[in-house]
Amino acid sequence: MKWIRITSTENIPEREGRALMLDSRSVALFNLGDRFVALENRCPHGGGPLADGIVGGATVTCPLHNWRVCLDSGAITKPCDVSSPAVQTYPVKVENGVILLGIDEASAAA
């Protein structure tokens, strides 16, 4: 696991998400008030930008077709009858007002 310093916590308003470009991948970073979470910025349905979705509790709703994704697990919670693989999540921690994102070494090297 490698931790990368991303940005100041102030840059992400409460209950909102922002897109983050990490090499070639887009990551959605959310401020849930009591914690920050991160996951792949791509809805498994139509590829919509999850960072632009509305946050309700610990879920985000994709702005394109209202699929809901659990922000902790990456699982799809609506529609409930799809068997889509979960969206990839990333560990996040905050140190001295800066958000850090954890990526595994293999993926970082890739």
Partner 1 sequence: MKQLVVIGNGMAGVACVEQILKFRHDFQITIFGDETHVNYNRILLSSVLAGEKTADDIVLNDIDWYQANGIRARLGVRVENIDPSRCVVVDAEGAETSYDRLILATGSSAFIPPINGVDKKNVHVFRTLDDTRALLEKSRPGCKAVVLGGGLLGLEAARGLQVQGCDVTVVHLMETLMERQLDSLGGSYLRRKMETLGVRVMLGKQTQAFLGNGKVEGLQFSCGEQVEADLVIVAAGIRPNAELGRKAGVEVRRGIVVNDYMETSDPHILAVGECTEHNGQVFGLVAPLLEQGKVLAATVTGNRGPVFTGASPAAKLKIMGVDVFSAGNIEDREPSVECIRYEDPSLGIYKKLLIKDNRLHGVILVGDASDDHRYIEWLRANTDLTPHRRHLLFPPPAEDAGLDVAQMPDNETICGCMGVTKGDIIAAIHTYGVNTMGQLKDRTRASTGCGSCGNLCSRLLKAVAPDFEEDKQKVLCSCVPFTQERLRDMVRSQKLRSAQDVLDIYGNGKGCEICKPALSYIVDMVWCGDHEEDRSARFINDRVHANIQKDGTFSVVPRMRGGVTTPAELRKIADVAEKYNVPMVKVTGSQRIDLLGVKKADLPAIWDELGMPSGQAYTKGVRMVKTCVGSQFCRFGTQDSIAAGIDLERRLENLYTPHKFKMGVVGCPRNCAEATVKDLGMVGQEGNWQIVFGGAAGKGVRKADLLVTVETTEEALTACEIVFQYYRENANYLERTYDFVERLGIEKVRKETVYAPPEVRQALLDRLKKSKDKSYDAWMERVRPRPTQFVEIQPMEPVNA
Distances (CA, A) of 42 to 35, 53, 57, 91, 101: 21, 11, 19, 17, 17
Torsion of CA 92, 52, 76, 98, to 10 degrees: 0
Cβ pair 40, 28 in contact under 8 A:
yes
Contacts with partner 1: how many residues (CB under 8 A)?
Answer: 39
Q: Which of 36, 40, 44, 48 binds partner 1 (CB under 8 A)?
A: 48
Amino acid at 55: V
Q: Which of 36, 37, 40, 55 binds partner 1 (CB under 8 A)?
A: 55
Q: Which of 36, 53, 76, 90 binds partner 1 (CB under 8 A)?
A: 53
**Is residue 55 helix, strand or coil?**
strand
Footprint of partner 1 on 77-106 (CB under 8 A):
98, 101, 103
Interaction between residue 4 and partner 1 (CB under 8 A)? yes
- Where does this chain bind partner 1 (CB under 8 A)? 4-7, 10-16, 18-23, 29, 46-49, 52-57, 59, 61, 63-64, 66, 68, 98, 101, 103, 108-109
